[in-house]
């Protein structure tokens, strides 16, 4: 599988870990249209790459992501303005394609946040399976303060993570919260002192990268599907996932390790 860099985005396969780095530190890693397509392409390829057992998404420099680069998109141009409906045509193939990919790809996604995580940066942190942030990081939904409504799944993700009352505070009032508060509210996995962030991310990444990859992917799918499924449908989903996971090499290794009273050595197959 190939993971080419694009302007503002670095991608590298490090053993079983796919490292995806937003790389526009001078713009707080605001996501351009080119970066958006690069992220979509990267997650699409990773979804079927058997070398990849975990994806780590981070930002270069002092910040994770300052949101989408709406300043560049709305800068005065000589070309005529897009025709009516341009936003609702664009979003389904850009941000509204990326967020479901992060939620649904059957590979664990780890998000590392320092500095600002605003707009789609906040949504990426919410969509990831594990987000670890510096306790002084800043999570912010600036939409209402700029006079437009939220996108990137914020109105779906936030109520499910932090509850509707707090989601209203974040979205309607534009309240900014720290990494420590985001963890306390259940928006992210945990927050640690900034000096400990790399170590904390590495510990979880290594555990995911050495885990039973097929089982973890199916478990992720079950959790996502179960948000809206009735009980009878979710029980059928569980039976389907159990059938698949019980046919893996990692399942046999797990049983052998249990019998032999040792730690399992999963291969991701």
pLDDT tens-digit profile of 61-95? 999 999 998 755 555 565 677 788 888 888 888 99
Tokens 């509707």 sit on residue: 164
User: With the CA atoms of 47, 150, 93 and 63 taken in that order, what torsion angle do they form, in degrees rounded to the nearest 10?
Assistant: -50
The encoded tokens of residue 75 equal 């800068």
pLDDT tens-digit profile of 197-207? 999 999 999 99
pLDDT tens-digit profile of 141-166? 999 999 999 999 999 999 999 999 99
Tell me what pLDDT residue 74 has.
Answer: 55
> How do the domains of the chain map onto residue ranges?
9-209, 213-260
Tell me what pLDDT residue 76 has.
Answer: 58
In this structure, which topology does domain 9-209 adopt according to CATH? 2-enoyl-CoA Hydratase; Chain A, domain 1 (3.90.226)
Other C-beta atoms lying within 10 Å of the C-beta of residue 54: 27
Compute the distance between CA of residue 41 and CA of residue 136 in angstroms, rounded to an integer.
32
Average pLDDT, the chain: 94
H helix or E strand, kind and range, residue 217? helix 213-226
Cross-strand partners of 113: 133
Tell me what pLDDT residue 82 has.
Answer: 73
Tell me what pLDDT residue 71 has.
Answer: 57
Opening angle at CA 185, ends 182 and 187, nearest 5: 55
Q: What is the mean pLDDT of residues 121-128?
A: 98
Contact 208, 108 (CB under 8 A): yes
Q: Mean pLDDT lowest for which of 69-83, 122-136, 253-267?
A: 69-83
User: With the CA atoms of 39, 127, 56 and 179 taken in that order, what torsion angle do they form, in degrees rounded to the nearest 10?
Assistant: 120
Percent of the chain whose predicted confidence (pLDDT) is above 70: 96
């Amino acid at each position: 599988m190939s993971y080419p860099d694009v302007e503002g985005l670095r991608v590298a396969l490090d053993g079983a870990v796919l490292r995806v780095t937003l790389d526009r530190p001078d713009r707080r890693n605001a996501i351009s249209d080119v970066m958006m397509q690069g992220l979509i392409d990267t997650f699409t390829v990773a979804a079927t790459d058997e070398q990849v057992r975990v994806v780590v998404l981070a930002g270069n420099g002092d910040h994770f992501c300052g949101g989408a680069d709406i300043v560049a998109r709305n800068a005065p141009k000589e070309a005529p303005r897009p025709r009516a409906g341009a936003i609702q045509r664009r979003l389904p193939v850009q941000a509204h394609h990326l967020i479901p990919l992060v939620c649904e790809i059957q590979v664990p996604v780890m998000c590392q946040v320092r500095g600002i995580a605003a707009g789609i940066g906040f949504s990426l942190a919410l969509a990831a399976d594990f987000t670890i942030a510096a306790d002084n990081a800043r999570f912010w939904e600036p939409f209402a303060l700029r006079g437009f409504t939220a996108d990137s799944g914020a109105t779906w993700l936030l109520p499910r993570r932090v509850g509707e009352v707090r989601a209203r505070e974040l979205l309607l009032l534009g309240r900014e919260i720290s990494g420590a508060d985001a963890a306390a509210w259940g928006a992210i996995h945990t927050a640690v002192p900034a000096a400990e962030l790399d170590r904390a991310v590495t510990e979880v990444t290594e555990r995911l990268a050495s885990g039973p990859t097929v089982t973890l992917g199916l478990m992720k799918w079950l959790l996502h599907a179960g948000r809206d499924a009735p009980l009878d449908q979710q029980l059928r989903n569980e039976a389907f996932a159990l059938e698949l996971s019980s046919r893996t090499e990692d399942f046999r290794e797990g049983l052998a390790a249990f019998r032999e009273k040792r730690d399992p050595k999963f291969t991701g197959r």
